[in-house]
């Protein structure tokens, strides 16, 4: 996981792993910023299932009890789906659908359910266990054949894998809405990140409570949206005894997925294209919705703006809102010469020509939002550094 900025909910070793201090919820600044309480009066994400393809999900944390549908994971990819080896997948799941019970994290879409998938990522040391653990492509394809509407992929690689790309296309053909973290290595290589850069995947960048993009958040043509991803409380490790303040695009992807779940729950007859289009149309920005930034994409997710407008036009159910990006693809894609090839790729340059990426917040906006995100531009502004993840088959959590 990311380098922790500080543990604040340390639990005595004499207590159950799921016992955590209620203070963790006070650290979830983005819930107030997004007006979660107001949104939950309209939608909690009920009826929407989110496939979390990650390090596995622990269904026994206080916040996830009753929220994880482990029995719905296809048997072909079910190996240790409910055994999280590093805490990352469980954190992502709680950010999406945590109930907040027992003082745990409150998810942005607490009425949604999570379907867990465990894939080969850094941290799996045992060769036999790694061999039994599915590849990302297998999990994506399997999730596509379920009734989960959303697939969250908070992992990445600088390489384009044909089997993974094929699985993504298959999932898109099944009507799934897919979100992925863009990566945390902008300060080092700023490689193109996959699966975020595949067509039909929404690449999500990370921003802080002021709307500033994290200096670690990778940028390029594949960034589609931004979401809160700094100073986010998540599990410190797989002991599930403490939450830590961390930063990463993994968490931004989770919050974007949860935002989509809220909208889809309120509009169950919409397609993935319509849910995504309304997220894009209402995203916080100061430029026109037809333009995008290489740092924040089309802006900061604001699901509240969709939920509060009962007459919002979602557009054509079959028209891809990212048709331009998906049609031309991302320049500089790199395919691995071998599974153990060193990471290297050419990152695209920023073509947005915008000003600094900041955000204005207000407590008395005309629409009553507690804290309104207004992204003011597209050039990266340093916020808080985030740790990068190690690579396993050149895939890492982000």
Catalytic amino acids? 54, 88, 250
DSSP states of 60-80 as a string? TSTTTTTTB-GGGS-GGG-TT
CA 306 vs CA 66, 154, 265, 379: distances in Å: 28, 24, 12, 27
DSSP states of 32-59 as a string? HHTTHHHHHTT---TT-EEEEEEB---T
- The values of phi and psi at residue 363, to 5°, are -100, 0
Q: Omega into 392 within 30° of 0, i.e. cis?
A: no
> Containing H/E element for 113?
strand 113-118
DSSP states of 143-202 as a string? HHTSS--EEEE-EEBSS--HHHHHHHHHHHHTT-EEEEE--S-TTTT----BTTTSTTEE
Round to whole Å and give the CA distance between 29 and 370: 11
Of 76, 177, 51, which is closest to residue 135 (Cα–Cα)?
76
- Cα 197 off chain centre by: 14
Round to whole Å and give the CA distance between 166 and 170: 6
For the chain, the residue count is 398
* Backbone Cα Rg of the chain: 19
Q: If DSSP codes are grouped into helix, strand and coil, which group holds residue 212? A: coil
Q: Residue 83: exposed, middle, or buried by beta-carbon count in 10 A (0-12, 13-18, 19+)?
A: middle
């Amino acid at each position: 996981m990311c380098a922790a900025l500080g543990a604040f909910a340390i639990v005595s070793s004499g207590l159950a792993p799921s016992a955590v201090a209620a203070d963790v919820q006070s650290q979830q600044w983005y819930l107030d910023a997004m007006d979660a309480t107001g949104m939950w009066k309209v939608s909690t994400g009920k009826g929407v299932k989110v496939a979390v393809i990650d390090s596995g999900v622990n269904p026994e944390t206080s916040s996830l009890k009753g929220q994880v549908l482990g029995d719905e994971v296809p048997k072909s990819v079910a190996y240790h789906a409910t055994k999280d080896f590093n805490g990352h997948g469980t954190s992502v799941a709680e950010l999406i659908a945590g109930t907040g019970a027992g003082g745990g994290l409150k998810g942005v879409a607490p009425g949604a359910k999570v379907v867990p998938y465990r894939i080969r990522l850094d941290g799996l040391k045992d060769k036999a266990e790694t061999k039994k653990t599915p590849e990302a492509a297998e999990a994506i394809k399997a999730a596509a054949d379920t009734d989960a509407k959303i697939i969250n992929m908070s992992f990445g690689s600088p390489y384009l894998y044909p089997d993974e790309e094929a699985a993504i296309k298959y999932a898109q053909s099944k009507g799934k809405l897919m979100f992925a973290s863009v990566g945390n290595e902008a300060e080092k290589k700023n490689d193109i990140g996959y699966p975020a850069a595949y067509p039909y995947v929404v690449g999500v960048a990370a921003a802080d409570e002021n709307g500033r993009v994290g200096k670690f958040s990778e940028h390029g043509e594949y960034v589609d949206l931004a979401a809160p991803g700094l100073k986010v409380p998540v599990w410190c490790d797989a002991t599930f005894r403490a939450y830590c303040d961390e930063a990463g695009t993994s968490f931004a992807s989770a919050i974007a997925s949860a935002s989509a779940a809220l909208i889809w729950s309120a509009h169950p007859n919409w397609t993935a294209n319509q849910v995504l289009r309304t997220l894009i149309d209402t995203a916080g920005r100061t430029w026109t919705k037809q333009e995008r930034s290489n740092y924040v994409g089309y802006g900061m997710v604001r699901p509240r703006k969709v939920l509060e407008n009962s007459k919002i036009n979602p557009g054509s159910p079959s028209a891809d809102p990212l048709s331009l990006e998906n049609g031309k693809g991302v320049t500089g894609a790199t395919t691995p010469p071998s599974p153990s090839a060193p990471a290297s790729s050419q990152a695209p340059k920023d073509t947005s020509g915008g000003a600094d990426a900041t955000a204005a917040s207000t407590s008395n906006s005309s629409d009553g939002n507690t804290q309104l995100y207004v992204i003011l531009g597209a050039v990266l502004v340093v916020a808080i550094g985030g740790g990068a993840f190690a690579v396993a088959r050149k895939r890492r959590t982000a």
